[in-house]
A and B are shown apart, each in its own frame.
Chain A
Amino acid sequence: MELAITILLFLALVSCAIAIALVRNLFAVVMLSGVVSLLAALLFIVMDAVDVAFTEAAVGAGISSVLMLGTIALTARNEKVPPRYSLVPLAVVSLTGMVLIYGTLDMPNFGDKNAPVQTHVGPSYIERTPKEIKVPNFVTGVLASYRGYDTLGEVTVVFTAGLGVILLLGGLGKRRKRRRESN
């Protein structure tokens, strides 16, 4: 049953992705990418990652759509017709895909309890969090305490990216307008 839901959601996801490649109206592209995010969030819930699903729904379907719509409003509404369709990208992509699929052949089955991923750090976090931190949500325990240093780095990346956007777009326009008015 769970597998059927996963595959169904996934087929919807892939068809949205293909539609994104084909549609030329950028507004439709942005809306479809919002749909992709929501479907991805549903898939994350099926795979037990509630925190991740929450983030994906809020970020991917919410903020990301607003920002892309803002970009469209500042640039163009339609993609121009591509001058030629070439087979080279398709060939490159298929080749890469086949190499990746070859790589998955050695991987353990989906949901395998004895997979290498499940035997090392994960179980020790699950064992230690209720004793040492006494927080019911393991994800919060690992994120904020065991891997607090890691999260500090991530927050710094967010900070830096925000700083970059402010420097690229904020304020400069105003200054240029003022200069134009004074001329």
Chain B
Amino acid sequence: MDSLFNTEFALGHMNYWLFVILMMTGLYIVVARGNLLKKIVGLNLFQVAVFMLYISMGKVAGGTAPILVDNPDQAYSNPLPHVLILTAIVVGIATTSLGLALIVRINETYGTIEEDEVLDIDHDMYSAEVAEMEKFKLMNAETR
């Protein structure tokens, strides 16, 4: 573990650790917060952290943005992660909006966007249904 105290190693890995912190903040919001909209925002944070990890892997020290310049000796950062992440961002917003649309529909059905309340309503509806069934069975038994 003495490599942890090496400054070069620590500076070289600082980025990755910061991304992990950001990613875990997003995960915490998803796990611990009951509001559905906030969960979506938390997922977005998580997503941004993953994007950063990819982009930071593609970075080359002393390189420039991957657009051709006249100098033939110029080093470029790796364009492949950029391509993957660029499309992932647009796909991300499209799927986020699908999630938001589901939230709107949930709100129209349940009248709330808090996870706990939605679960409570679901539970109440289920127990009411079970009680109804019991009553029905009892009535059937009596008539028989």
Contact = CB atoms under 8 A, between A and B. Distances in A.
Contacts of B17: 101, 104
Interface string A82-119: 11001001101110110011001101111111010110
B75 A113 contact: yes
A123 B78 CA distance: 7
Interface string A116-139: 011001110110011000001111
Interface string B81-122: 111011111111111111011111101000011101100000
Contact of A76 (B25, B94, B113): B113
A161 B95 contact: yes
B38 A20 contact: yes
Q: DSSP majority for the B interface?
A: helix
Interface string A154-179: 10011001101100110000000000
Interface residues of B, number: 86
Given A52-B82, A67-B97, A169-B104, A89 B59 contact: no
A102 to B, nearest CB: 10
Contacts of B25: 14, 17-18, 20-21
B141 interface: no
B101 to A, nearest CB: 4
Given A55-B89, A75-B104, A21 B35 contact: no
A48 interface: yes
B109 to A, nearest CB: 12
Contact of A68 (B41, B68, B89): B41
A166 B53 CA distance: 33
Interface string A3-31: 10011001001100110110000100110
Contacts of B63: 48
B59 A72 contact: no
Contacts of A101: 16-17, 20
Contacts of B55: 44, 47, 49, 52
Contacts of A154: 87-88, 90-91
B28 A89 contact: yes
A79 B68 CA distance: 49
Contacts of A138: 66-68, 76, 79
Contacts of A40: 48, 51-52
Nearest to A126: B76
Contacts of A49: 55, 58, 65, 77, 81-82, 85
Contacts of A21: 25, 28-29, 32-33, 42
B29 to A, nearest CB: 5
A125 B57 CA distance: 16
Nearest to A85: B32
Given A26-B38, A80-B34, 19 more contacts: A20-B38, A26-B37, A47-B52, A47-B56, A67-B97, A76-B113, A79-B33, A97-B21, A104-B13, A109-B9, A109-B12, A110-B11, A125-B80, A137-B68, A138-B66, A139-B86, A141-B79, A143-B87, A168-B101
